[in-house]
Structure 1
Amino acid sequence: MKHLMKRLKDKVSSAELYKMNYKSTPIEYEMNRLKTISTEESEGWALRVIINGKVGFSSATSESQFDAMAEKAIEIAQFGQPAIFDFPKQLDRKLEDTIKLYDPSIPVKSTAQMIEEGNSIVAKIQSYNPDLRCDVDITKLEGEVGYRNTYCNPFNYQKTFFKRSIMIQDTQEDDMMMLLEAQGWGQDNLSFEALWEKIEQKLEWGKKIVEVSDDYLPVIFTPKALLVLILPLIAGLNGKMVNKKISPLQDKLGQILFNPLLSIYSDGTIDYAGGSGPYDDEGIVMRRLPLVEKGVLKNYYYDLENAAEAKVEPTGNGNRPGFHTSPSPGINNLIIPEGESSFSDMVKDIKSGIIVDQVLGLGQGNVLSGAFSNNVQLGYKIKEGKIVGRIKNVMIAGNAIEVLKDIVAVGNETEWISGRYCFPHLYLKSISVSTKK
């Protein structure tokens, strides 16, 4: 990357070059049978330049396209946005040699091993009930990120990730139960047996269909379903939305907005987690950033540009969803620490309520306002402190900012979702539940 940056030296005030490449090997099963084995490779380059106080951006898919990419970025800068920020003058390297992101056993895992694992998963499900249809996806990933700007020495790091996802359908006449479970981590240490215990329990709970009435009911959100409530908060805490004055959480730092049982962190420093790294995608060191602590709004999260606009320091949340776009504020790993209540104690405490495990339409609608309205894809009814069956044709609705003021309990165990979200169960006092008769 150094020789490429030298070619820009006399053409720009400053520049930043970002490189990413990855290799993905998915093994896919459909309807209990192996369907596809494939390998996908991708490489991308992204260039931002600052010329005469304006920003230009361009991208390419190989190093050989660098000159054309540079010319385009320089041309775009003539009409670009004002450069209210500059690239880091030096890197804080405190995580570079300490954070663990790469497991060498993942790249060398053979497709034969992955197929053997997939076969055993399908066999386990079929032995439980041969009428179940299951789709299984087992994927290994390895990637590399590189960064350099005109001021500081470069950084480069490698990451691995291994994931399993399982979709099970149980079809009985006019009823279909769909169960989705997944595991993902940067280290190959995930136990399918632990995952199967959850799957088996939910299948047992789902055998009987029960009705619920339209009402405001206590609701337990499983870790998997909790994103329904957390996504609106994350949208509102985005520094870009705050700067645009369209966030319902703007001008509320230091205020008690939620129940004191709730704390939320963006943390990019966790070994092997999917959103971790020594730096964000703009060269700012990753950190554990408190967003909410004991119900108090503590911080918004920023990239370089939006931090400069807000006249605050960047928080290490400059995120590139891909190399084709400029960075924007994004969450690294999202953490809600465990509380003191067990799941079983939560259930015992409820006379009449529901458990929400999966929803349809996650993230749809006016998320920024805090509103949510989702059909429950998989949920269960609680009656007199016991789980009595599966619910159907049920919708939940409300405003996340408001309902998170009425937390009854936080679970004492957390679960990683997709390798990036670490959540407990959350027991809420009252949420609108409606049914379609």
Structure 2
Amino acid sequence: MDTAGMISAVQEILANRSLDGWEITAASSHILSIEVKEQKVDTFKCSAPLGVSVRVLKNGGMGFSFSTSMAPEDLARMVDNALVGAESQTPDADHGFPDPPAVYPDVPGLFDDGLAAVAEEAKIAVALDLERLTLAADPRVRKVRKATYGDSMVETMVVNSRGVSCRYRGTSVSASVTAVAEENGQSQMGWDFDFSSRFDGISVERIVAGAVAKATGLLGAATVPTMRCPAVLDTYVATEILEVLAPAFLAESVQKGKSLLAGKRGEMIVAPLLTIRDDGTLPGGMGTAPFDAEGVPKRNTVLVQNGRLDSYLYDTLRARKEGVAPTGNAIRSGIKSPPHMGVSNLFIENGTEAPEALLAGITRGVLLTEVMGMHTANTISGDFSVGAAGFLVEDGRVTRPVKGIAIAGNILELFRGVEAVGNDLRFYGTVGSPSLRIAALDVSGE
């Protein structure tokens, strides 16, 4: 049964229920996952899950349920369970479903028509090449911990009682490798990946180069004395820090008083060099789609313009509470979960400086390429204290690798200290950033 058939089957059941509104979401997919070890296929998983979920509105209560069985009795049970959930909830006058938009954005490149025709052998070869080329790239790379390839084809459809009816198909392809380098009794790991909506969009060579550089670059690393110094954050570290700030932009966090950005709209919150946006229509983005989990059109929302907080992100419920338009930021973890708030493609806009130019003028500082435990940062206060690694910078150039250090501070204060922005924006999942130079950062070492 296709997504339209699943939707129709549930609509027939809903027609016989007394409700104030409803929403049906159907999804079908084909998922492939491959892992190789020692030039042999270690894991090969292929699945084609499908499912349908329903949200129903009754007297201000919103109920949710799902089914992976399309049997009529199971679909009826799903609807009944959702109705029980709605009736047992505390009513909220702002619960509701969105109206149909005038138009959905045209987002090209979401679906690779040729992916289904690519032979499994060619997909396995990507993982095999990753392992083989990583081991051959540098004699210090002694083993590959993991080399993977994965792809998926997904069709999603959302229909509601107010007239929303939308459907799209998407493909995603990813590959990654983890290298282990050893020298003089010391070992270091390096990981890199690539993502595309197309099979031919993956670059094995780029993944290998990144993983090997990270693994070998930190060999021989040692700590440095504690100091407060200028710091350059590479794209990965900058993204990790931005990811901690991400929930603060969600209207749900703001309205519940759990955002460090609450009450700051219109204020300068970070350095004037920074513009931050969430673009659900970004070409090639991992969070790109024509509509969100509620059937609301995705948008390109400027959150911070030249350091000033301009906007928050909204789903339908949180937008109704403020009397504003939703920004298309309802997401799902899968058909088994109801919509919740999240970012689409959140990123700091590119600057004008080449990454290596960010080191110029630093008499003594650090280039940070790894942080450990950033998830432990306090998302409400913005305070953090985490482990880090990277390189010592002296007189504008990298001199030696550094590990066993820690950095501490406040996320907003750190972003207020940005004095240069690189032109090397890179995404790690749905969050991305270019390299950033920070005027001063507390680094704890020896």
* TM-score (norm. length: structure 2): 0.91
1:152 matched residue in structure 2: 163
Q: 1:89 aligns with which of 99, 120, 137?
A: 99
**Which runs of 5 or more structure 1 residues have no equivalent in the other structure?**
none
Contact 2:99 2:164 (8 Å CA) reproduced: no
Whole-Å separation in 1 of the counterparts to 2:102 and 2:186: 56
1:68 matched residue in structure 2: 77
1:20 matched residue in structure 2: 27
2:44 matched residue in structure 1: 37
Q: What is the Cα deviation at residue 43 of structure 1?
A: 2.3
Is 1:281 aligned to residue 290 of structure 2?
A: no
Whole-Å separation in 2 of the counterparts to 1:42 and 1:191: 28
Whole-Å separation in 2 of the counterparts to 1:82 and 1:257: 36
Higher mean C-alpha deviation, range 53-62 or range 124-133:
124-133
Q: Secondary structure at the match of 1:100?
A: coil
AA at the equivalent of 1:319: I
Whole-Å separation in 2 of the counterparts to 1:98 and 1:234: 24
AA at the equivalent of 2:120: T
2:188 matched residue in structure 1: 177
Contact 1:258 1:401 (8 Å CA) reproduced: yes
Residues 34-61 of structure 1, C-alpha deviations (whole Å, 9 max, x = no match): 4211213322322110112221111222
Q: How many residues align?
A: 433
Q: What's the % identity of the aligned pairs? A: 24
2:333 matched residue in structure 1: 321
Q: 2:152 aligns with which of 141, 159, 165?
A: 141
Q: 2:179 aligns with which of 165, 168, 191?
A: 168
Contact 2:277 2:300 (8 Å CA) reproduced: yes
Q: 1:2 aligns with which of 3, 8, 25?
A: 8
Is 1:108 aligned to residue 130 of structure 2?
A: no
1:396 matched residue in structure 2: 407
1:386 matched residue in structure 2: 397
Q: What is the Cα deviation at residue 32 of structure 1?
A: 6.3
Cα 1:200/1:273, change in 2 over 3 Å: same
AA at the equivalent of 1:81: T
Q: What is the Cα deviation at residue 323 of structure 1?
A: 2.3
2:439 matched residue in structure 1: 429
Higher mean C-alpha deviation, range 77-86 or range 12-21:
77-86
**Which runs of 5 or more structure 2 residues have no equivalent in the other structure?**
1-6
Contact 1:243 1:310 (8 Å CA) reproduced: no
* TM-score (norm. length: structure 1): 0.93
Q: How does 1:226-245 map to 2 (within 5 A)?
A: 226-245=238-257
2:235 matched residue in structure 1: 223
Contact 2:190 2:213 (8 Å CA) reproduced: no
Contact 2:181 2:216 (8 Å CA) reproduced: no
Q: Secondary structure at the match of 2:25?
A: strand
Whole-Å separation in 1 of the counterparts to 2:75 and 2:401: 56
Whole-Å separation in 1 of the counterparts to 2:407 and 2:138: 31
Q: What is the Cα deviation at residue 33 of structure 1?
A: 5.0
Cα 1:123/1:71, change in 2 over 3 Å: same
Whole-Å separation in 1 of the counterparts to 2:311 and 2:209: 38
Residues 2-27 of structure 1, C-alpha deviations (whole Å, 9 max, x = no match): 34213213421110011223222111
Q: What is the Cα deviation at residue 276 of structure 1?
A: 0.9
Q: What is the Cα deviation at residue 181 of structure 1?
A: 0.8
2:349 matched residue in structure 1: 337
Contact 1:48 1:58 (8 Å CA) reproduced: yes
Cα 1:57/1:324, change in 2 over 3 Å: same
Higher mean C-alpha deviation, range 366-375 or range 396-405:
366-375
Q: Secondary structure at the match of 1:249?
A: coil
1:59 matched residue in structure 2: 66
Q: What is the Cα deviation at residue 31 of structure 1?
A: 6.1
Whole-Å separation in 1 of the counterparts to 2:239 and 2:383: 13
Contact 2:244 2:377 (8 Å CA) reproduced: no
Q: What is the Cα deviation at residue 285 of structure 1?
A: 0.5
AA at the equivalent of 1:108: A
